[in-house]
Structures are given as structure tokens and as C-alpha cells.
């Protein structure tokens, strides 16, 4: 099969999107030979050669549903992934989670230094908006402005950065389910939701009702991602026979598993998957990849 877009398997399609995202990101990031060389090398170190590219996969699957040109979706997908990469660099810093490994290699502040890591995050965030603004990627300039506004809101104090602030304020405090959900809707969910909606807005094939339906799917999947992340962390702890408590437990951070227990957290993930799939049902086969992505997000855990 020469055209991976027509591949019969979801796994082939995933590999294809991951590869084209890697190529697009490599082209958009400044070369390390350009001044300031060290900053540019660190930006490429933070972004390239790792990560599941879940957000670009969601953007492409939603773009496909909306009849978008894949070349246009690449830009939206890369913009979201650059914001995600910046958030990981800053999240790993000593003033936040203080992690030394990310994607199997030393974190940016360990490989370079703290000041460089701070600047890498700043520069990646700026690059994300440049990538989204500098080329027309949808039918109307007003629609592209709306995409910029949506990404800014998803990244800012009422989205991801706000979620991180809620998370920091929650350390050592017992959170209820509603508070935990609010934190994750902001911290992880907002950017995942933006990935789906930006992908869809690169096309013009969806009506208002369909966009609303897609938005519901995006919200469910954004939260589902975090529930599964908590399950994966708890399972990793169990696999090491309780010898390590895991970062969240160590820092006394609330998780779905600490709140509900592993069995009920798994049940919740399965229920959310049913909700996501039922939301897509009226789209029929056109939403097959979005459905398969929801499955992938859940079943990488079990
Ligand atoms: C520092 C402003 C600021 C925000 C940080 C999203 C976030 C907020 C921090 C990430 C911390 C974290 C590990 C959260 C758990 C869920 C999550 C986002 C995991 C990492 O995302 P993946 O699994 O990572 O998509 P890859 O490496 O595959 O890209």
C-alpha cells in the first residue's frame, strides 16, 4: 500500500501521521546553526524524536472528518504540539515537578540548564502562534483568527496554565471528584479539546450541530486521557511492588486512582469511552479514526 492515508489499518495511519508531524515540526523549528545556536538546539531537543503525538493525531482525525486538506491540518497540529512540548519543558523544571527524565532522555534543564529550559518553553509557545498565524490554513481569515483565539485560551490562565496553577495549589490537600475534574479539564483537557477543534476548523464540512457533537467528544477524550494517565501511573507503581510511590503520590497530589481506587478508575475510563463512541455514532464511518483514537487512549492502559 503506497498511500498510507488509504491504509486498511489504524496502526499504519497512526505511524503515517506521527511521521508527517515529525517532518513538519523539524521544518518549522529553527536550525541549530542559526543564532542563538544553543537555544535552537535545545528547542529541537525538546520537540523532536519522541512523544506519541496524540494531539496531532486527534487534529488530523477531526480534520479528515471535516474534509480539511492534510497540509493545512499539519500547521494546526504542529501549533498544538509545540504548546504541549513547551508545557512539558516547564512542567519538568525544578520550580514545578522537578523531573530529570522525559521521553526516555534527560529533561531540557538537565541536558542544558534552567535558564535555557525557561527560554525553550517561551520560544516554543511563541513559535506555536507564529505557525498558526503566518499562512492561511482555512477558508476565511476570521475562522483562522478564531483558531488563534481558541489556542490562546486553551494554553492560558483559563486553560492549561490555569490548570497547572490549580494543581500546584492542590498539593497536600484532599480534593473532591468535582475539583479534580475541574483541574484536569483545564490542565490536560483544554489543549486536547483545542487539537480536535482546530483540526475540524481547517475544513468546512461540518455544521453547527456536528461541531457541537465533536466538541463533546473532545471534552470527554480530554478528561479520559488524564484518567488513563493516573491509571498508568498507579499500575507502574504496582509493577514495582510499591518500592516507589510514583511522582504524584510522592508529592501527595490527588489522582483519580487515589480518589476512586484502581477498579473504579478503570470503570470510569470504560464509561467515558462508551460516551465518546456514542457521541461519534451519528457520523458513521467518517469518524472511525476518532473512535479508534479514543480506544487507543484507553487501552494503552490495560
Ligand atoms: C507548565 C504551563 C505549564 C503547564 C503544564 C500539561 C501540563 C501542564 C503538564 C504535564 C504534566 C503531566 C505529565 C500531565 C499528565 C498528562 C500529560 C499531559 C502527560 C504527557 O502527555 P503525553 O502522554 O506525552 O501526550 P507525550 O510524551 O506522548 O507527548
Q: Whole-model pTM?
A: 0.94
Q: Is the pLDDT of residue 179 over 60?
A: yes
Q: What is the pLDDT of residues 65-122, one digit of tens each?
A: 999 999 999 999 999 999 999 999 999 999 999 999 999 999 999 999 999 999 999 9
Task: Please give the backbone phi and psi of residue 297, each rounded to the nearest 5 degrees, phi first.
Answer: -60, -40
In this structure, the residue with its CA closest to atom 7 of ligand 1 is: 87
Specify the pLDDT at position 250. Answer: 60
Q: pLDDT at position 244, please?
A: 46
| Phi, then psi, of 138 in degrees rounded to 5 | -145, 175
Instruction: Give CB contacts under 8 A, 24+ apart, made by 140-145.
Output: 143/201
Q: Does ligand 1 lie within 6 Å of residue 74's CB atom?
A: no
> b or e along 37-46 (b: 16 or more beta carbons within 10 Å of the residue's beta carbon)?
eebbbbbbbb
Q: Does the beta carbon of 103 lie inside 6 Å of ligand 1?
A: yes
The answer to whether the CB of 54 is under 6 A from ligand 1 is: yes
| Interatomic CA distance for residues 96 and 30, integer angstroms | 27
Domains, the chain: 9-299 (1.10.600.10)
**Residue corresponding to grid cell 500547521:** 75
Whether residue 180 contacts residue 256, with contact meaning beta carbons closer than 8 Å, is answered with yes
**196, 301, 192: which is closest to 256 by C-alpha?**
301
pLDDT tens-digit map of 257-293: 989 999 999 999 999 999 999 999 999 999 999 999 9
- Binding site membership of 160 for ligand 1 (Cβ less than 6 Å): yes
CA 213 to chain centre: 20
- Give the model's pLDDT for residue 101: 98
Q: How far is the CA of 195 from the centre of ligand 1 (A)?
A: 14
Instruction: Establish whether residue 15 lines the binding site of ligand 1, counting it when its CB lies within 6 angstroms of any ligand atom.
Output: no
Atom of ligand 1 nearest to the CA of 85: 29
Amino acid at each position: 500500500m503506497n498511500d498510507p492515508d488509504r491504509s486498511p489499518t489504524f496502526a499504519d495511519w497512526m505511524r503515517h501521521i506521527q511521521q508527517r508531524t515529525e517532518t513538519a515540526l523539524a521544518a518549522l523549528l529553527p536550525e541549530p546553526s542559526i543564532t542563538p545556536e544553543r537555544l535552537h538546539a535545545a528547542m529541537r531537543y525538546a520537540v523532536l524524536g519522541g512523544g506519541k503525538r496524540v494531539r496531532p493525531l486527534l487534529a488530523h482525525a477531526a480534520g479528515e472528518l471535516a474534509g480539511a486538506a492534510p497540509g493545512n491540518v499539519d500547521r494546526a497540529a504542529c501549533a498544538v504540539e509545540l504548546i504541549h512540548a513547551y508545557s512539558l519543558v516547564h512542567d519538568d523544571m525544578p520550580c514545578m515537578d522537578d523531573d530529570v527524565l522525559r521521553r526516555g532522555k534527560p529533561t531540557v534543564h538537565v541536558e542544558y540548564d534552567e535558564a535555557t529550559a525557561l527560554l525553550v518553553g517561551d520560544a516554543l509557545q511563541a513559535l506555536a502562534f507564529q505557525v498558526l498565524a503566518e499562512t492561511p490554513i482555512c477558508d476565511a481569515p476570521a475562522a483562522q483568527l478564531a483558531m488563534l483565539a481558541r489556542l490562546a485560551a486553551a494554553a492560558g490562565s483559563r486553560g492549561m496554565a490555569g490548570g497547572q496553577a490549580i494543581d500546584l495549589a492542590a498539593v497536600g490537600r484532599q480534593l473532591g471528584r468535582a475539583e479534580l475534574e475541574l483541574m484536569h479539564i483545564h490542565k490536560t483537557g483544554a489543549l486536547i479539546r483545542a487539537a480536535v477543534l482546530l483540526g475540524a476548523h481547517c475544513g468546512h464540512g461540518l455544521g453547527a450541530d456536528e461541531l457541537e457533537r465533536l466538541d463533546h467528544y473532545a471534552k470527554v477524550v480530554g478528561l479520559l486521557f488524564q484518567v488513563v494517565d493516573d491509571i498508568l501511573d498507579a499500575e507502574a507503581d504496582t509493577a514495582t511492588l510499591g518500592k516507589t510511590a510514583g511522582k504524584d503520590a510522592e508529592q501527595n497530589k490527588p489522582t483519580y486512582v487515589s480518589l476512586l481506587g484502581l477498579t473504579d478508575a478503570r470503570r470510569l475510563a470504560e464509561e467515558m469511552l462508551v460516551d465518546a463512541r456514542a457521541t461519534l455514532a451519528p457520523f458513521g464511518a467518517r469518524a472511525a479514526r476518532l473512535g479508534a483514537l479514543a480506544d487507543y487512549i484507553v487501552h494503552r492502559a490495560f
